[in-house]
Structure 1
Amino acid sequence: MEKHAASAMNGSSLQDFSSGDVHVLDDGRSINDFIDDQIKTLQSEDSEEPFLVLDLQSVIDHHQQWLTLLPRVKPFYAVKCNNTPAVLRVLRALSTGFDCASKAEIQMMLNLGVSPDNIIFAHTTKPMSHIRFAAAHRVQTMTFDSEEELRKISLCHPKARLVLRIAVDDSDSLLRLSSKFGAGLGLVEKLLGLAVDRDLTVIGVSFHVGSGCTGSQAFQRAIADARQVFDIASVLGVQMSLLDIGGGFSGRDNFQVKFEEFADVINAALDKFFPPDCGVQIIAEPGRFYVESAFTLAVNVIAKKNCEESGPGGQIMYYINDGVHGILSCVVNDPAHPPIQLLPHRAVGVGEVRYRSVVWGPTCDSLDKVSDSAMIPELQVGDWLLVHHMGAYTVSLSTDFNGFERAKIFPVVTEETRRLLELRHTSA
């Protein structure tokens, strides 16, 4: 992997890459070893706060997979998915672009040294102050899907490079977006005409098939729709040069549709409708794909209640120190997130009885329920549970409701990856 990842790195970017909070694993040590050590450290400090471990190698591996399977498509990472600084710094070093949805996200990327040319302001309903901010900081590329958005842009950023977002069939997705964003094909000619009348520059088309897409043919249909928009634009004298195929890619190896299948369909559709010699740049906005599998959450059992029917086949209630107002917000906020699997950190004996368990979060909110049917061995107060695949729309949605602190994040790399990224490790 080191050799392959090295080919994906941008040497000049790496010279500026530094992080004081990245933990380097000594030779032979694993992330599980790091989790063990962190739990021991917390116990020695009379603490049991939840924490996340970020495997930066996973982010790099997914980037290499992207480059291998979608070589024509430049990824613009969706910052909203997870804005952990270590993730953003690694992706900058890997020379990805960035999909930002607000002036705060734009400022975050500019502060990390990202060029404005490597940012797309991919939000179709932007506050006018945010548009002016983008203009002042030379962020030129942004999306629109309505006449009103064109009017705002003409007033605040008339030199912007515009991308028309179209609504596409997202019926195969767990989280559908076209009911809120995107212009129907029937409005395309009107919107492009209005842009021409306002002397605005439209450079391309974007779409999003929805998050947690379960049908690869959705991309084929959407790319075909985009081709229609390019053809309409050509008739109007608008020469487009950019296609943004959005996101919707899971980052889990066990997702029901493999990334390889999506890539095969996308590559075939691009070759048919936008062949390599057509002069159109292809980009995408993956978020989950990069970070979903890179984060593991460790939580502590802080309370326990045995119900009357507890015993073999019975029920036990546990209270853990993260819940739906924290990292586990995905339980209620993210239809594209699979059911939570709570794994005991301790060793589980062969044949050990499992109980149907209700798992609550720590807050005073009765809706703060993580699971009402977790089948787990009996646990004691003070035991730890691990939850894998916790990188997508978790960190960015967590709160400190009731005063419960957000889970601390520990980025971890192997020594080989540290050398690859030229990171200087200092203890947290």
Structure 2
Amino acid sequence: MNRQHVHMVPANQSKADRVAAAVSATELKGDDDAFYVMDVGDVVSNHQRWKKLLPRVEPFYAIKSNPDPLLLRVLSELGTGFDCASKAEMEMVLQMGVAADRIVYANPCKQISHLEYATKNNIDLMTFDCEAELYKVKSMFPGARLLLRIVPPGHYKVFDDLSTKFGCHSGDFSGLLKTAKNLGLNVVGVSFHVGSGAEDPEVFAVSLQRSCNVFAMAEQLGFTPNIIDIGGGFFGHKGAPLSFEKVATTLNKSLDKYFPVSSNVKVIAEPGRYFSSSAYTLLTSVIGKKKCLPKGNHRNSENSCEPDMPSDKKPSFMYYLTDGIYGSFNVIVFEGRTTNLVKAPSSDVTFTSSLWGPTCDSADCVQKGLSLPELEIGDWLYFENMGAYTRSIASHFNGMPIPGCYYICEEKVW
């Protein structure tokens, strides 16, 4: 890792002060583009918490969450494995010197050329959930170690239910295992993913019970399963719908019950947002402002520009930012975010406000119905917990830039 790209910060400095310092450095360069402040120490802290609370579970970071090269390097130095879904993601970590046995090719539907790349680089641990995938693997990589991806129980609340696309249902477990056996393939375990952002820890417990049943089926057919991949779905930030501590408690209890240490089963996981979300804070500046008078109180120069704004005596405001739903707010807009001001407002009076992205699409609305003090063009706002599924799926729609990164770290952590 190259230290010259990371700004050292005092250990006792608040997040607000760190954010303000990053804005000052940005403004000195005459830049008003949105950017992230990435705290290396946050990643290290979450890794330490993981190892303390889930000592048996080896994390394989899900690169799709955020492929920032520095983040990958930090996690690599900390000894994590990596969950890769494509040739490009496998290349990223191999080029950093990560060994093939620290990679799980966790895409149940693999492109032939990507599977060929995995074969050439001996990335042999991979998932499957259907018969067609078994024949594909048989033709390209018969020596692969396979994890049968199963569907978790569907009555638990999650932010993104992945089982609508991936996973084998219970009625197909036996048939797929028999097909793998007939093809001479090696099924070494089971994987599942409860969904991104799970809100009930019991979904992990039930999924582990199902996995134990699949292990028994596999053993009856002559396989020797020894790996359980518990997928992702973990929150890592404060104030999450489900704390990591609660998940860890449930997982440890269930692992002891279904896969005790004496079973010699290796336990891995695919955390993504757990490591990436809270490490990144998004900074975006106000580039436009529109004052909207209450309904029935129009003037030639100003009007009620938002029809859904309340009809009270105070005006409302529309603010245009340097980032929007085609950038960092693409999917996380649905999770809700607190809007923070970098500079203290000049007045405590607040107005009904809305935030809009920089593109020419009227759908590019970040949030409505906010209560904010009156802002000015050039003011900066910041949003915490913005590292997961933001940069990785942002677009250049309308020619707008994808936010860069301003990296910080405490000296002792570095």
Residue identity over aligned pairs, in percent, reads: 40
User: Secondary structure of the equivalent of 1:329?
Assistant: coil
- Show the counterpart of 2:163: 178
1:360 to 339, 356, 363: 356
Rounded to whole Å, the distance in 1 between the matches of 2:381 and 2:11 is 26
- Show the counterpart of 1:80: 64
- Show the counterpart of 1:346: 343
Structure 1 residue 37 corresponds to structure 2 residue 21: yes
Rounded to whole Å, the distance in 1 between the matches of 2:62 and 2:22 is 30
- With normalisation by structure 1, the TM-score equals 0.89
Q: Is the 8 A contact 1:167 1:182 kept in 2?
A: yes
Structure 1 residue 413 corresponds to structure 2 residue 414: no
Structure 1 residue 102 corresponds to structure 2 residue 80: no
Rounded to whole Å, the distance in 2 between the matches of 1:262 and 1:98 is 21
- What is the letter of the counterpart of residue 59 of structure 1? V
The unaligned stretches of length 5 or more in structure 2 are 295-303, 305-311
Render the CA deviation track for 1:101-157: whole Å, top value 9, x for unaligned.
001000000011100000000000111111010000110100000000001111111
The unaligned stretches of length 5 or more in structure 1 are 1-16, 419-428
194-203 vs 303-312, greater mean Cα deviation? 303-312
How do 1:103-122 residues align onto structure 2 when only pairs under 5 Å count? Answer: 103-122=87-106
Q: Is the 8 A contact 1:325 1:400 kept in 2?
A: yes
Structure 1 residue 376 corresponds to structure 2 residue 372: yes
Structure 1 residue 164 corresponds to structure 2 residue 139: no
Render the CA deviation track for 1:76-99: whole Å, top value 9, x for unaligned.
010100111111111001101000
Rounded to whole Å, the distance in 2 between the matches of 1:108 and 1:312 is 56
- Show the counterpart of 1:55: 39
- Show the counterpart of 1:326: 327
Render the CA deviation track for 1:259-317: whole Å, top value 9, x for unaligned.
11111111111111111110110010011111111111110000000012288654210
Rounded to whole Å, the distance in 1 between the matches of 2:78 and 2:212 is 30
Render the CA deviation track for 1:340-397: whole Å, top value 9, x for unaligned.
2211111146x71221111100001111110011221110111110111101111101
Q: Residues 20 and 146 of structure 1: is their aligned pair in 2 closer, same or farther, counting only changes over 3 Å? A: farther
Deviation of 1:33 after TM superposition, in Å, equals 3.7
- What is the letter of the counterpart of residue 238 of structure 1? F
- Show the counterpart of 1:222: 207
- Show the counterpart of 1:207: 192
- What is the letter of the counterpart of residue 326 of structure 1? G
Rounded to whole Å, the distance in 2 between the matches of 1:133 and 1:92 is 21
Q: Residues 73 and 45 of structure 1: is their aligned pair in 2 closer, same or farther, counting only changes over 3 Å? A: closer
User: Secondary structure of the equivalent of 1:65?
Assistant: helix
- What is the letter of the counterpart of residue 297 of structure 1? L
Rounded to whole Å, the distance in 2 between the matches of 1:167 and 1:397 is 25
- What is the letter of the counterpart of residue 74 of structure 1? E
- What is the letter of the counterpart of residue 343 of structure 2? R
User: Secondary structure of the equivalent of 1:366?
Assistant: coil
Deviation of 1:24 after TM superposition, in Å, equals 1.6
Rounded to whole Å, the distance in 2 between the matches of 1:114 and 1:108 is 9
CA RMSD across the alignment:
1.6
- Show the counterpart of 2:297: none
Rounded to whole Å, the distance in 2 between the matches of 1:161 and 1:176 is 26
User: Secondary structure of the equivalent of 1:265?
Assistant: helix
- Show the counterpart of 1:231: 216
